[in-house]
Amino acid sequence: MKNTRFNARTALLILAEAMLLFGGMIVAVYVRLGSFDADYELIEKHGFYKAALASVFCLSAFYLYDLYDFVIMHDRRELVLRLIQALGLAWMALALAFYAIPALMIGRGVSLIALPLALGLMVGWRLSIHWLLGHPHIGERIIIVGSGEMAVETAREALERRDAGYRIVGFTDNDPEMLGKSLINPRVIGLTSDLMEIVKRENVDRIVVAMGERRGQFPVEQLLKLSLSGDVFIEECGSFYERVTGRVHLGMVRPSLLIFSGRGRQARLNAFTRMAMHRGVALIGALLSLPIAILTAILIKLESKGPVLYRQERVGKNGRKFVLMKFRSMRMDAEKDGPVWAQDGDDRATRVGRIIRRIRVDEIPQFWNILRGDMNFVGPRPERPHFIKQLAEEIPYYEQRHLIAPGLTGWAQIKYPYGASIEDARQKLQYDLYYIKNQNLLLDAAILFETIKTIIFSRGAR
């Protein structure tokens, strides 16, 4: 699958950068100490291990700054800025590690040489690799069969991710009058009836089918021959869009989407394993956060009258209602006029409330909801019944979110900013449906790591 190739490419990038950083550290040692003293430092004083540790710190900082997200890292100036910030963070973290454990210290002279050297190597390497990945003549050549709204939207998403290696060659259509017409640049480059000839002429690697199966117009025979030849990969438009964007397009959803995504006994085993993992993480989180929870409760009580915990009815798996608990972050009369969306800079929040919401401390009591089985750690965010009714009337497939248990964090939460409108809910639903369709332990682990980044940088809090 293409996802595997993308992950493999990211893994190779991390490996290459680990080697560059490690090599840069070794070079800095030789430049600073000379050949004889450098050998002594590297072998007798465990310099190789210290260089490896410094490389790990740098790679971790790169991850925190999204430098392995090819969708985000398409702007070169942003790339260089984040590299500088990430290396600065890594060196500060290393300085703290050296202070705590002096035996790990590399040496100030070596560090002063290694930091600009690492920055130069990384900037040069990254600009080169991103130029290479974004080059129009390098990457997977794709033709889209169809020229309707779905085809154009899919092409637009792929074109915005040039560094991900997608090259849209053009579209095909059944109407001769569409030939040469520019939809979003690329153009309609041929008739669907000439698909085999176009694939050969344009050296196409992948065909994305974005047209309905209408009798007499859908190129069944040609697609079948191309598929059996093994020379080109053929993919349905919705599947390609989902993989490129990490969300399900509501306009491309078919009833079969979720029906056939289940895997019977394997799915039940996967769900049980994930539930056990989520409750284990929640138990560890509850124990580790207990001192913070006690301090938060004291501060809330000191600032305002009323209960420390805020209880609110939410909708869980299969529409079952449960009481969600959070630390109270608003005034007691916050909803005297009825439920409303939370807004950016909400004036109903208390001073303590604004702080705990920004650093997500208000969510700590939900560990209890997870341990009780109301929620998982990862899943669609549970919504209030008042808003569920409103959103289900406005947004198709909205109630499909309740096919699985809701979560404290989720794919939609890390991919889309805090939602405070029906349109935001529509966008987040697309990510929720993607998660429901593709849920597994690896995706859960990725979401947990991304959530940590979100908390560290206080993204999306209100």
Q: Are the C-beta atoms of residues 411 and 443 closer than 8 Å to each other?
A: yes
Q: Is 50 exceeded by the pLDDT of residue 136? A: yes
pLDDT digits (tens, 9 = 90+) for 354-383: 888 888 899 999 999 999 999 999 999 999
- Continuous segment of H or E residues that includes residue 128: helix 108-134
Q: Is 50 exceeded by the pLDDT of residue 353? A: yes
> What pLDDT score was predicted for residue 261?
58
Which tokens sit at 290? Answer: 């207990």
> What pLDDT score was predicted for residue 258?
61
- Continuous segment of H or E residues that includes residue 335: none
Q: Is 80 exceeded by the pLDDT of residue 260? A: no
| Strand pairing report for 188-191 and 407-409 | unpaired
Q: Is 60 exceeded by the pLDDT of residue 263? A: no
The pTM assigned to this predicted structure is 0.75
**Domain boundaries in the chain?**
2-134, 140-245, 265-456
CATH number of this structure's domain 140-245: 3.40.50.720
Q: Is 70 exceeded by the pLDDT of residue 208? A: yes
Pick 336 or 211 by higher pLDDT. Answer: 211
For 66, left (φ over 0), alpha (ψ -120 to 50), or beta?
left
Cα dihedral value 141, 143, 147, 152, nearest 10: -30
Would you tell me the crossing angle of helices 385-394 and 422-438 to the nearest 10 degrees?
Answer: 90
Gyration radius of the chain over CA positions: 26
Residue with tokens 């939900």, as numbered in its chain: 366
> What pLDDT score was predicted for residue 115?
87
Please choose, from the candidates 80, 76, 85, the residue with its C-alpha nearest in 3D space to the C-alpha of residue 58: 85
Q: Is 60 exceeded by the pLDDT of residue 116? A: yes
pLDDT digits (tens, 9 = 90+) for 76-114: 777 888 888 899 889 899 888 888 888 888 877 888 898
Instruction: Report the sign of the C-alpha dihedral through residues 219, 224, 230, 235, in that order.
Output: positive
Q: Is 60 exceeded by the pLDDT of residue 150? A: yes
> What pLDDT score was predicted for residue 6?
47
Rounded mean pLDDT, 112-126? 89
Give the separation between CA 81 and CA 63, rounded to whole angstroms.
14
Grouping H, G, I as helix, E, B as strand and the rest as coil, residue 310 is: strand
Rounded mean pLDDT, 252-272? 64
